[in-house]
Chains A and B, each alone.
Chain A
């Protein structure tokens, strides 16, 4: 099946095509899922180089799993987020801390320089605040509020109940507010 006809093909069907030797499926899966895996790893680790390693490893595991993938049993993204989170946990245990210095300069001509600077400062501040959260809280907040996953899917990814997800995200948000309290004005947020 040509690449341009696979845009609407579900992930698990693409995995079956990939396992059957379809080259276009390899390309579609790579372009569709690598950005999500990388973004999650980046937000969990705060380091692009580390996130690239994790994303590559997670995708390799997915491709290796393809011949044994059972359609309809689990969502591909759920499986992938879980693998990515586990790989991030391994990395975090080895290297404590977050290296925001490693983040390269962004390039976005559409925004004004001032707006770009403020957005970057806000994203950095959030990333730093996220790094202060316990790992599970961070994972739940990132999945829910940045990556837009629903609570039931997060529960499946983290292998906990929906209530536990709600508790983690609520506590995570409170901790973020506390961590960002001293930077509100610097980030352009003034109360009243």
Chain B
């Protein structure tokens, strides 16, 4: 019987606790929470900082990987020129090789215009 009495008493006390108006939040708390919710919501939707404007050169530089990549490109270009020059006319016998060696630039110009070739011959 004591257990039943105790259980009934506790059930009654639990019910009193459930209906206790002091366990209800104040309107002020609800307003504060709602205000926080709205602030967080608008902060989450706002863009994070303004996007930085970049020049075309900066964009190209970034696209190829920045300054380190650019120095690599420059080195490769220099190496290409050196290989071409060092190998003589075998690799560049038509145009650029001849220009660099300065051997028969005139014949190159004559390819464009026969009269130019003629005049050149006449001057000689």
A residues engaging B (CB < 8 A)? 18-19, 21, 23, 26-27, 29-31, 34-35, 38-39, 42-43, 48, 52, 55-56, 59-60, 63-64, 67, 103-104, 106-108, 119-120, 122-123, 125-127, 145-146, 173, 176-177, 180, 184, 187, 189, 191
Contacts and interface: CB of A to CB of B under 8 A. Distances in A.
A31 B36 CA distance: 13
29 contacts: A18-B37, A21-B41, A21-B45, A23-B38, A23-B41, A26-B37, A29-B37, A30-B34, A38-B24, A39-B23, A39-B25, A43-B23, A48-B22, A48-B26, A52-B29, A56-B32, A59-B36, A60-B36, A63-B36, A103-B22, A104-B22, A106-B20, A123-B20, A123-B22, A145-B10, A173-B7, A176-B10, A177-B10, A189-B5
Given A23-B41, A67-B44, A34 B13 contact: no
Contacts of B10: 145, 173, 176-177
Contacts of A187: 9, 13
A33 to B, nearest CB: 9
A189 B22 contact: no
A119 B16 contact: yes
A48 B25 CA distance: 9
B39 to A, nearest CB: 9
Nearest to B32: A56
Contacts of A119: 16, 19-20
Nearest to A148: B18
Contacts of B38: 23, 26
Given A34-B30, A191-B5, A106 B37 contact: no
B41 A63 contact: yes
Interface of B: 1-2, 5-7, 9-14, 16-26, 29-30, 32-34, 36-38, 40-41, 44-45
A42 B41 contact: no
A52 B21 contact: no
Residue with the greatest number of chain A CB neighbours at <10 A, chosen from B20, B24, B34, B44: B20
A19 B44 contact: yes
A42 B22 contact: yes
A35 B16 contact: no
B13 A126 contact: yes
A177 B20 CA distance: 20
A55 B22 contact: no
A126 to B, nearest CB: 4
B60 to A, nearest CB: 35
Contacts of A176: 10, 13
B33 A30 contact: yes
B29 A180 contact: no
Given A19-B44, A30-B33, A56-B33, A122 B25 contact: no
B25 A126 contact: no
Given A55-B25, A180-B9, A34 B33 contact: yes
